[in-house]
């Protein structure tokens, strides 16, 4: 199976670093990409934001952060870090700032999802 690495790079993946992390095992890398798609981590975050459950949002973003870190989706990882730092130990953060940062995370997340889809379709 070929992965279109250009699509991934465009979508914010540091492909080389990510592949290196798992010892260059491309099959495993592909599996991890597919698992990312399946998990739909963003959905639980969306829900949490909707009902303004910030601790739930924190948890979801924490998970996104870890996963993005492990897959080396660099920008997404940084955005998630920024938001989790805002939400950490803070039950009533600034709504606007939260929304702003969250949109950034969401945008990058969707871009990553799309990038994976595009890279695997090839």
Q: CA 95, 42, 20: angle at the middle one, nearest 5?
A: 120
Considering only 2-10, 49-57, 81-89, 99-107, which stretch makes contact with other proteins by CB under 8 A? 81-89
**Does residue 39 belong to the site contacting other proteins (CB under 8 A)?**
yes
Considering only 4-12, 29-37, 45-53, 98-106, which stretch makes contact with other proteins by CB under 8 A? 29-37
All residues at 6 or more sequence positions from 107 whose CB lies less than 8 Å from its CB, including other chains: none
3-state secondary structure 61-122: HHHHHHHHHHHCEHHHHHHHHHHHHHHCCCCCCCHHHHHHHHHHHHHHHHHHHHHHHHHHHC
Question: How distant, in Å, are the alpha carbons of 8, 25, 37, 43 from that of 111?
Answer: 9, 24, 12, 15
From residue 86 to residue 115, the character string flagging contacts with other proteins as x (rule: CB under 8 A) and all else as - is --x---------------------------
**Does residue 35 belong to the site contacting other proteins (CB under 8 A)?**
yes
Choice from 32, 93, 106, 111 touching other proteins (CB under 8 A):
32
Q: Which residues bind other proteins (CB under 8 A)?
A: 21-23, 25, 28, 31-32, 35-36, 39, 59, 62-63, 65-67, 69-72, 77, 81, 84, 88
């Amino acid at each position: 199976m070929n992965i279109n690495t250009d699509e991934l790079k465009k979508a914010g993946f540091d492909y080389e670093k990510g592949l290196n992390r798992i010892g260059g095992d491309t099959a495993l890398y592909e599996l991890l990409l597919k698992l990312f798609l399946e998990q739909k981590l963003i959905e639980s975050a969306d829900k949490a934001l909707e009902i303004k459950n910030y601790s739930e949002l924190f948890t979801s973003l924490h998970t996104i952060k870890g996963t993005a870190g492990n897959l080396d989706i660099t920008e997404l990882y940084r955005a998630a870090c920024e938001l989790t730092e805002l939400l950490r130990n803070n039950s009533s953060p600034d709504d606007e700032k939260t929304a702003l940062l969250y949109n950034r995370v969401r945008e990058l997340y969707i871009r990553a999802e799309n990038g994976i889809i595009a890279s695997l379709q090839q």
